[in-house]
Each structure stands twice: as structure tokens, then as C-alpha cells.
Amino acid sequence: MSLSLDDVKRVANLARIEISEDEARQTLIQLSGIFGLIEQMQAVETSAITPMSHAQDVMQRLRADAVTEIDQRELFQSVAPQVEAGLYLVPKVIE
């Protein structure tokens, strides 16, 4: 699969990463290199192997369903740019 410059720009936009035309071209070359590696790996016969979803072959540990956190709103909000009535204020998101 080959990657186009438009693909790179689209992914950058989705990820909210601002890149210049030059950076986009540079990224295209780097990403295409990674795609090349993936192509090589895909040529390996793996039909009898169960895919891993994580690099480590260990399983998730679970915690008991219990409330362990206390209210630290004041501490957390002390570093927020703007708060009011306990709410974090952000630029208006709907018009």
C-alpha cells in the first residue's frame, strides 16, 4: 500500500497536528519507510499464529469495584486557566 501526501495531511488534521508542506513531505518519506517494513513483515507466513494485541504476553489485572478517590477538585482546579461554579471553562464548542 502506498501513502499519498493527502493521506498524511488528513491524518495530521484528524490528530490536530499542524504541519508545514515541507514537514508533510518529510513525514511521507518516513511513514512510507515504515509501511515498507510492514509489507516485509506481512510476507511472513503467520496463518497458524494467534495475533497478540499487546507486546507483552501478560493479562490485565483487575481492581475491586470500590471508591478509593477523594474529592481533590480544589487542587486540580488550581492549575486550570479558568473555572467557575466548579466547572472548567473552555472556548465555546457549539455555535
Q: Which residues bind other proteins (CB under 8 A)?
A: 10-11, 13-16, 53-56, 58-69, 71-73, 76-77, 82, 84-94
Measured CA to CA, the distance from residue 35 to residue 27 in angstroms comes to 12
Residue 16 or 22 with smaller CB distance to other proteins: 16
The least CB distance from residue 39 to other proteins, in Å, is 19
Q: What is the CA angle 70-75-76, rounded to 5?
A: 90
The least CB distance from residue 17 to other proteins, in Å, is 11
Measured CA to CA, the distance from residue 9 to residue 89 in angstroms comes to 30
Measured CA to CA, the distance from residue 54 to residue 66 in angstroms comes to 27
Residue 48 or 64 with smaller CB distance to other proteins: 64
